[in-house]
A and B are shown apart, each in its own frame.
Chain A
Amino acid sequence: MSMFFQVTIDGLLTGMIYALVASGLSLIWGVMDVLNFAHGEYLMVGMYVSYWLGFLMNIDPLISWIASGAFCFILGILTYKLIIRHCLAGPPLSALLATFGLSMMLKNIALNRFSPNFRILTGTFLDGKKIIIGNIVLPMPQLVTSIFALVVVFIIYYIIKRTRLGWAIQATAMDKEAAELMGIKTESIFVLVFGLGGLCVGIAGGLLPSYLAVHPEVGGLFGLIAFVCVAMGGFGSIPGALLAALLIGLVEALGGFYIAPVFKYVVVFGLYLLIVMIRPKGLFGW
């Protein structure tokens, strides 16, 4: 029984990281209706920033998440300014393809500069510390990262729901023309949303290298799971993405443990298809 709890908690902890990655994607997707294929690669970039800060300058991931968050924020803004802005006029798929090109570029630049080796930060502040409750072991790096991710998701959600800026973002998502007539500068909202999307993954990426190895392909699976989370949760809904991410983390861990590790993503994607068949617009969509 304690095994079940252990697996459940591991799954939930992974799910919280997925939630932070997915909420960034959900923002971009919800406001601009753009599928950002390079989202997983933002995570990879954030992880590299944090890794190199830790490796070269001995800065702990607990601090360097600020740097990787800022870096990905700027990366997001640049992506919008240089690429997405020009694609919005065309058919909806062109932005997707351009971000696909970007993801290919980022992945291979990382490969080119940093080699395909797996790298992991050792000797961080939290390294090796753990909390033991009964038979359940909670490693500190995972625990802190996940709780932190959850807090960031709540902050983003609060900003969207309770501040004037968030209302402007919501208004832009609902009706761009009407929002413009109300005096909202939708162009700057778009820039900001892309930046915020980058910030979310940047923060997640900044904390991850303390227990997850960095390599150029690390973003691929995270990106894919984030897509599924967002679609499962429902278009642009952050609570939906959070719930879906926790569910996916849980199902992934339990499926991997009780069925077979090979089948864990089959179970995850199967669950997604099942949910979407019942609710075609996702859990919180309408």
Chain B
Amino acid sequence: MMKGNKKKQDLYWYVLIVLLILIPFIPQVAANSFTQHVLILILLYASMSQAWNIIGGYCGQVSFGHSVFFGIGAYGAGMAVVRFGLPPWPGIILGALLATAVAILISYPCFKLKGHYFAIATFAIVEIFNRLFMVWYWVNGALGLDYPLVEVGWRNFMWYTTKIPYYYGALVLFIIIFGIVRFIEKNRFGYYLRAVREDQETAEATGINSTMVKLSAMALSAFLAAFCGAFFVQYNLRVDPTMVMSLQVSMVFVLVTILGGAGTLFGPLLGAMILIPLQEYTRVLWGGLGRGTDLILFGFLIILIMVRQPKGIMGLVDEYFNYKKMRKVISAESDIKY
């Protein structure tokens, strides 16, 4: 029964991925670059949040520091292209490794802190990194790095006239990150993570090295977040500290995941699927009115979702299925009675 369920779920995933591969062939999508933009952002934000979900959702350590790793990944790619005139790939790899190292260095002392203290400490770290990058001459400080015009193609991971290759790039990122989390979820390591989240003392009593588990989750999460950062900068062709390394960016990781449902595999995807179109279409529809009308609405909708179902959209979905199940049970009971 259980195994059958798992297989069925995997089948859903394969179908979803095939659908995602085929989406750009729909003529309406192929013709409309804004739709493509929204789709790319959905995939990117879902991947980012899934990376955060490893540490924040499964392991329960709420980090507001992920924009640091995201930013280091972004700067890795940016520096390779702008300063050294290379293709971004070595920069991406180096940036991801650097982000992992920074994550381990930062988190080791911070994991002594619990709950909100940990969250506020990661806040402080983001602010410190933000200010330092603002004045660091080598990475061009607050001005940021602007990409030069180079040859298009996969070698430079850069296109100017089309967004379709970016879409597939984001899709690859999405498949890799969701695949990794899917693998972890069923794995021994995934159970360690959830044990630490539920009760750290009990987990330690059963022989789990909680610091080690948290550190490796953080390292993995930072590594993947850095890749997302590199993709982000390749897509925007520009990077500056406020864009990639600020509390706003950190909030995106948290917002999408919690809105979708933290600690669930589908949560980040659902969150991104609801949040990004909301953000982009309110921006297009009401952004023109100016003066932040779109953001007022956006904020209001966040409040509305959280008030309606604090567990996020996954909670709403569960609610719906439970309701259906209840209905079934009730009707079955009534069959017996009458």
A residues lining the B interface (CB < 8 Å): 29, 33, 35, 82-83, 86-91, 93-95, 97-98, 100-105, 107-109, 111-112, 115, 224, 227-228, 230-231, 235, 262-263, 265-266, 269-270, 272-273, 276-277, 280-282
Per the CB 8 Å criterion, the residue count for chain B at the interface is 45
Cα A100 to Cα B258 in complex, Å, equals: 12
Contact B62 A112 (CB under 8 A): no
Interface 0/1 of B94-132, CB less than 8 Å to A? 000000000000000100111011011101110110011
The total of Cβ contacts below 8 Å across the A-B interface reads 137
A108 touches B120 (CB 8 A): no
**B292–A35 CB distance below 8 A:** no
Query: Which B residues touch A90, using CB under 8 A?
Result: 306, 309-311, 315
Residues of A within 8 A of B247 (CB): 224
Within 8 Å CB of A89, what residues of B? Answer: 310
Q: Which residues of A contact B131 (CB under 8 A)?
A: 262-263, 265-266
CA distance A83 to B298 in the complex (A): 16
Known: A231-B120, A265-B127. A280 touches B113 (CB 8 A): yes
Taking a contact as CB atoms under 8 Å apart, the answer to whether B307 and A83 are in contact is yes
User: Nearest Cβ distance between residue A216 and chain B, in whole angstroms?
Assistant: 8
User: Cα distance A101–B303 when bound, in Å?
Assistant: 6
Q: Which residues of chain B come closer than 8 Å to A280, judged between CB atoms?
A: 112-114, 117
| B258 near A266: Cβ-Cβ < 8 Å | no
Please indicate the chain A residues that have their CB under 8 angstroms from the CB of B128 in the complex. 265-266, 269-270, 273
Residues of chain A within 8 A of B186, CB atoms compared: none
Check B306 against A97 for contact (C-beta < 8 Å).
yes
**Known: A83-B303, A87-B307, A280-B114. Contact between A93 and B296, CB under 8 A?**
no
Quick check: B262 and A93 within 8 Å, CB to CB? yes
Which residues of chain B have C-beta atoms less than 8 A from A277's C-beta? 109, 112
Pick 24 A–B contacts, CB within 8 A, sort by A.
Answer: A35-B116, A86-B306, A86-B308, A90-B311, A91-B310, A91-B311, A93-B254, A93-B262, A94-B310, A97-B306, A98-B307, A101-B301, A104-B296, A105-B299, A108-B291, A108-B292, A111-B292, A112-B291, A112-B296, A262-B135, A266-B132, A273-B124, A273-B125, A276-B113
Query: Least Cβ distance of B319 to chain A in Å?
Result: 12
| Residue contact B113 to A112, C-beta cutoff 8 Å | no
- B-chain residues with CB within 8 Å of residue A102 when the two chains form the complex: 299, 303
Contacts beyond the supplied A87-B307, A91-B262: 20 A-B pairs with Cβ under 8 Å: A89-B310, A90-B310, A90-B315, A94-B258, A97-B258, A98-B307, A101-B302, A104-B295, A104-B299, A105-B295, A107-B292, A108-B296, A111-B292, A224-B247, A228-B120, A230-B120, A265-B128, A270-B124, A280-B114, A281-B117
Whether A29 pairs with B116 at a CB distance below 8 angstroms is: yes
**Do residues B307 and A227 form an inter-chain contact, with CB atoms below 8 A?**
no
**Are A101 and B127 also in contact (CB < 8 A) when A90-B311, A94-B306 are?**
no
Interface of A is mostly: helix
Which residues from chain B contact A29 at a C-beta distance below 8 Å? 116
- Provide the residues of chain A in CB contact with B303, threshold 8 Å: 83, 98, 101-102, 105
Chain B residue contacts of A235, Cβ below 8 A: 116
Task: Say whether B135 contacts A269, CB under 8 Å.
Answer: no
Min CB distance B123 to A, Å, is 6
C-alpha spacing A277/B292, complex, angstroms: 40
Residues of chain A lying within 8 A (CB to CB) of residue B298: 101, 104
Q: How far is the CB of B189 from chain A (nearest CB, A)?
A: 22
Is B116's CB under 8 angstroms from A231's CB? yes
- Give the distance in Å from the alpha carbon of A219 to the alpha carbon of B191 in the complex: 41
Given A93-B262, A104-B295, A282-B117: A228 in contact with B310 (beta carbons within 8 A): no
What 0/1 readout, one digit per residue, does chain B (26-46) give for beta carbons within 8 Å of chain A? 000000000000000000000
